[in-house]
Structure 1
Amino acid sequence: MKTAAIFAATALASTAAFAEAHLDREGWPESFTVGTASQGGTYFSYGSGWANLVADELGLTGGGEVTGGPMQNMALVHTGDAAFGMTTMGPARESIAGENPIAPGLEMTNACAMFPMYQTPFSVTALASSGIESISDIPEGARIGFGPAGSTSDTYFPRMMDELGVEYERRNGGWSDLGGQLQDGLLDVIAFAAGVPVPAVSQLEVQTDVNIIEFTEEEQQKITEAFPVSEFEIPASTYTTLEEPARSVSMWNFAIANCDLPASFVNAVVDTVMSDHERMVNIHRAATSTVPENWDKNNGVLPWHPGAAQWFIENAGADIPEDQIHGN
Structure 2
Amino acid sequence: MKKQAILAALASTLVVATSVSAQDRDGWPESFTVGTASQGGTYFAYGSGWANFVAENLGVSGGGEITGGPMQNMALVHTGDLKFGLTTLGPASESMKGNSPLAPGMKMDNVCAMFPMYETPFSVTALASSGIKSISDIPDGATIGFGPAGSTSDTYFPRMMETLGVNFERRNGSWSDLGGQLQDGLIDVVAFAAGVPVPAVSQLEAQTDVNIISMTDEEAAKILEAFPVSEFEIQPGTYQSLEEPSRVVSMWNFAMVNCNVPESFVYEITKLTMENNDKMVSIHKAARHSVPENYDKNNVLPWHAGAARWFNENGYSIEESQIKQ
Partner residue, 1:76: 76
- Counterpart of 2:126 in structure 1 is 126
**Rg bigger for which structure?**
2
In structure 2, what is the Cα distance between the partners aligned to 1:213 and 1:22? 53
Matched residue type, 1:256: M
Q: Distance in 2 between matches of 1:215 and 1:305?
A: 37
> Counterparts of 1:140-219 in structure 2 under 5 Å?
140-219=140-219
Give structure 1 stretches of 5+ with no counterpart.
1-13
| 1:94-109 correspondence runs (5 A) | 94-109=94-109
Identity %: 72
Shift of 1:115: 0.5
Q: SS state of the match for residue 238, structure 1?
A: coil
Task: Work out the CA distance in 2 between the residues paired with 1:22 and 1:233.
Answer: 47
* Whole-Å separation in 2 of the counterparts to 1:60 and 1:261: 14
- CA shift, 1:319, in A, is 1.9
Distance in 2, matches of 1:228 and 1:49, equals: 28
Size of the aligned set, in residue pairs, is: 310
TM-score after normalising by structure 1:
0.93
Report the more deviating stretch, 89-98 or 22-31. 22-31
Hey, what does 2:4 align to over in structure 1? Answer: none
Give the C-alpha shift of residue 22 in structure 1. Answer: 5.8
Cα deviation code 1:249-297 (max 9, x no counterpart): 0000000000000000110111111111111000000000000111101
Unaligned runs of at least 5 residues, structure 2: 1-12
**Structure 1 CA distance for aligned equivalents of residues 88 and 113 of structure 2:** 11
What is the deviation of 1:321? 2.0
Q: Does residue 228 in structure 1 map to residue 225 in structure 2?
A: no
Structure-2-length-normalised TM-score:
0.93
Which amino acid letter does the alignment assign opposite residue 135 of structure 1? I
Deviation for aligned residue 1:318: 2.1
Aligned to 2:306: 307
User: 1:23 Cα shift?
Assistant: 6.3
Shift of 1:21: 3.9
Map residues 1-328 of structure 1 onto 2, 5 A cutoff. 21=21, 24-299=24-299, 301-315=300-314, 317-327=315-325
Higher mean C-alpha deviation, range 20-29 or range 43-52: 20-29
- CA displacement, residues 172-200 of structure 1 (integer Å, 9 cap, x when unaligned): 00000000000000010000000000000
**1:191 & 1:96 partners in 2: Cα distance?**
26
